[in-house]
Amino acid sequence: MDFKIGEFQCRVLSDGSRSIGSMTSGSPRRFIFGDVPDDEFNYCLRHHGGFDSSTVLPFNYLLLEGYGHVTLLDTGCGDMAENEKHPDEPAGLLLSSLAEVGFSVSDIDTVIISHCHWDHFGGAVKGGWAVFPNAEYVMSLKEAEHIRDDVKGWALNYLNIISDRVRFVVDTTEVRPGITVNLAPGHTPGIIVGEVSSGSETLLYTSDLIIHKAHVDHVAWIPEFETDRAAAIESRRNLIEESYKRGMRLFVPHIPGGLGRVIRDPEYKWVNEYV
């Protein structure tokens, strides 16, 4: 799927998909929505097509071409997809998708890492080398500190491998003309979202502040794996309110189709856009 934001050509890169049941051995509902009362959950999900362990989340990321730069928003799963354990649900397909739209890893000059989870950071490194050899990687300093202090493991190894090419940002930063990142903590301590602006149009890449369209209706339905529930609620609420007030389009990596807006009817809710 291709679309435009002013002078930016935006291309959606599929990295595959996974069912909720493949990602947790616990309750699918708690995994994505946390402690939701049965009556609220059942009522809401009737309006969102149901939800259980077989519900599939897409992994979609954005390639932006404009103002002399080619920028990738998140790297997908890469080797962390562990496809040998999930042969019927392949992921880590971003590089194939990149080739399908006529680009190679060498064409990317900027890679924005929203946060350290496997489906967003796992494709940054392969075989001990940075996957995108000509790119500057962008990550929040707070997320890097979170990786070093709390996460460690493969994420720390990846961070060390790309350390000589990372620009660490502290808060709101324009990383390329028309592309700004903003700290939005909660899901992880240093998660960033990306704002893409050109002319009169603005797109907000939400990363995992929103995972399911029901999260727009219910900002307090917080996944069980958030690092700071209160901060996550505040960041999500701010994102939804700001996007509505400014009339921004949103790109949500894990909502089918990905592209949409927030409207009020009379409460906030998600509507898909089709291009």
**Residue 25: band (very low, low, confident or very high) from pLDDT cuts 50, 70, 90:** very high
The reported pLDDT for the residue numbered 275 is 65
Structure tokens, 220: 């307090």
Q: Exposed (0-12), middle (13-18) or buried (19+): which is 200, by Cβ within 10 Å?
A: exposed
Q: Give the CA distances from residue 15 to residues 63, 71, 161, 195, 239, in Å, rounded to whole numbers and listed in that order.
A: 12, 16, 22, 21, 25
Q: What is the pLDDT of residues 203-257, one digit of tens each?
A: 999 999 999 999 999 999 999 999 999 999 999 999 999 999 999 999 999 999 9
* Residue 138: strand, helix, or coil: strand
Among 200, 198, 202, 190, smallest CA distance to 166 is for 190
Q: Give pLDDT tens digits for 164-176.
A: 999 999 999 999 9
Picking from 48-62, 121-135, 146-160, 172-186, which range would have the lowest pLDDT averaged per residue? 48-62
DSSP label at residue 80:
G
- The pLDDT of residue 153 is 98
Which tokens go with 73? 């928003």
Compute CA distances 20 → 24, 101, 211, whole Å.
7, 28, 12
CA distance 122 to 125: 7
The residues spanned by each domain of the chain are 2-272
Closest CA to 134 of 175, 179, 104, 113: 104
Comparing C-alpha atoms, which of 79, 33, 87 is closest to residue 221?
33
What's the fold here for domain 2-272? Metallo-beta-lactamase; Chain A (3.60.15)
> pTM of the prediction?
0.97
